[in-house]
């Protein structure tokens, strides 16, 4: 068990304390709920009432199960991450790796048919249904920066980075790095010209 005070390894990487991990777990759940409410879900509800209402929606429930599985994985609790992963897959049709780091403010309204395995997913990200984030051949996994939107049926594959604020269009297949604030469409995906470029 980790000590209440954070420790440092020899390579100077910070190891989060057990208390800080617990705080991060609840902070992420709260910011996930905020992201849902900004989009019109559970309007006007506060406190435990908003969580009770949001947990009736499959997408938020799936997010909460992932958060719990990731917390258990980070704390080194055996069996629990795998079990919760399987429960999530059975209940919500979602394949979401417990070891993956996902920032707070995740909005994932539809989960069926989604396979989500990324090197890292930033904060305030929106993931729609039927998407795939994963490897391309023998290559590694993608990184999604903050405020990225991945639309229905999109594929983001390989060791690539999707820049902050970018939108991946429905059914697009992204296999190359995406500049910040881009809109990607097509197979393979290409960036739409910005309004400035069109002028």
Q: What confidence score (pLDDT) does residue 16 get? A: 43
Domains of the chain: 1-93 (no CATH), 113-199 (2.160.10.10)
d(CA 60, CA 80): 19
CA within 13 Å, CB half, 153 = 8
Condensed to tens digits (0 to 9), the pLDDT of residues 41-97 reads: 988 888 889 999 999 999 999 999 999 999 999 999 999 999 999 999 999 999 999
Q: Report which of 136, 174, 135, 138 is spatially closest to residue 153, judged by C-alpha positions.
A: 174
Question: Taking 90 as the threshold, does the pLDDT of residue 108 lie above it?
Answer: yes
Q: What is the pLDDT of residues 148-184, one digit of tens each?
A: 999 999 999 999 999 999 999 999 999 999 999 999 9
Residue 38 is predicted with a pLDDT of: 94
Residue 107 has pLDDT above 50, yes or no: yes
In angstroms, the first-to-last Cα distance of the chain is 59
Q: When comparing pLDDT for 194 and 94, which is higher?
A: 94
Element (H, E) at 114: strand 114-116
pTM, 2 dp: 0.83
Give yes or no for residue 104 having a pLDDT over 70. yes
Report whether pLDDT(196) > 80. no
Contact 58, 65 (CB under 8 A): no
* Contact between 165 and 143 (Cβ < 8 Å): no
Q: Does residue 121 surpass a pLDDT of 90?
A: yes
Alpha-carbon distance of 164 to 103, in angstroms, equals: 13
Name which residue leads in pLDDT, 7 or 100: 100
């Amino acid at each position: 068990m980790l000590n209440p005070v954070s420790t440092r390894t020899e390579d100077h990487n910070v190891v989060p304390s057990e208390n800080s991990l617990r705080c991060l777990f609840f902070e992420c759940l709260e910011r996930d709920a905020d992201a849902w409410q900004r989009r019109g879900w559970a309007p006007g509800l506060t406190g435990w009432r908003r969580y009770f209402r949001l947990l009736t929606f499959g997408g938020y429930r799936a997010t909460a199960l992932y958060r719990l599985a990731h917390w258990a994985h980070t704390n080194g609790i055996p069996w629990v991450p795998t079990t919760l992963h399987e429960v999530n897959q059975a209940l919500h049709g979602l394949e979401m790796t417990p070891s993956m780091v996902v920032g707070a403010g995740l909005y994932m309204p539809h989960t069926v048919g989604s396979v989500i395995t990324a090197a890292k997913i930033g904060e305030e990200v929106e993931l729609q249904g039927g998407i795939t984030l994963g490897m391309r051949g023998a290559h590694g996994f993608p990184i999604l920066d903050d405020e990225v939107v991945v639309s229905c049926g999109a594929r983001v594959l390989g060791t690539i980075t999707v820049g902050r604020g970018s939108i991946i269009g429905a059914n697009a297949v992204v296999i190359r790095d995406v500049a910040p604030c881009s809109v990607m469409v097509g197979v393979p995906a290409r960036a739409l010209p910005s309004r400035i470029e069109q002028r």
